Amino acid sequence: MNARDTVIVPIHKAGYPFIAIFILITIAMAVFIPAPFGPSLGWVGTIATAWCIYFFRNPYRVTPDKEGLIVATGDGVVHMIEKAAPPPELEMGEEPLIRISTFLNVFNVHVNRVPVAGKITKLHYHKGKFFNAALDKASLENERQSAIVETKDGTQVAFVQIAGLVARRILCFLEDNQEVKTGEQYGIIRFGSRCDVYLPKGIEPLVTVGQLCIGGETILADLNSEEKARTGTKH
């Protein structure tokens, strides 16, 4: 990666229609609305268009290559780490597993990435409500896309895209039986949301509540480690 890659960031293809709409509206306001309102609205539209481009940015990520690492599926802050049963549609049983919930605000990168390498064995879309994604009930009541990836040794890791108060559309490009790599892009959520990862039984989290995660890079857990759950201190 060179210096240019940190300045000129790729845009996710899902953002092109929105960016085009923002540009057209901005031009229409600036041209067809008479002064003094037209020019002022044109500047407002320009700022909104710039934000839209920023929202759909899709920066390069460097994923650790060590086998068994579970990485963050999205950018954002770890909002909750607690035990909870996986979504019922995944049919993984009712035994609580450690769930790591990452909250994505409207300024985070919203491209989602696969947590661990393996095969996609389950996909399910649930049409739900749009509560604030930071609320605990959002995990079961909000619109969501749930998935299971099974590693080559049979370990199952569940991960979920959850729509939030502002988000109204979840895009998932995964297919059943698809072979995936750790950190590989698989979807995007528009415009504010949450990502949950359910760790297998006996696996401890290597992140703490309040920690900032980078999708595809931050290590949430290690399937081949016996390290105890980490703690953190806010400075």
Q: In angstroms, rounded to a whole number, what is the distance separating the alpha carbons of residues 166 and 93?
A: 31
Q: In angstroms, rounded to a whole number, what is the distance separating the alpha carbons of residues 139 and 87?
A: 8
- Cis status of the peptide bond prior to 10, with omega within 30 of 0: no
- 40 is an active site residue: no
**Set 101, 139, 146, 193: catalytic member:** 193
CA distances in angstroms from 215 to 24, 35, 108, 161, listed in the order given? 32, 45, 10, 13
Q: In angstroms, rounded to a whole number, what is the distance separating the alpha carbons of residues 73 and 184?
A: 9
**DSSP type of residue 49:** H
Q: Which residues are catalytic?
A: 193
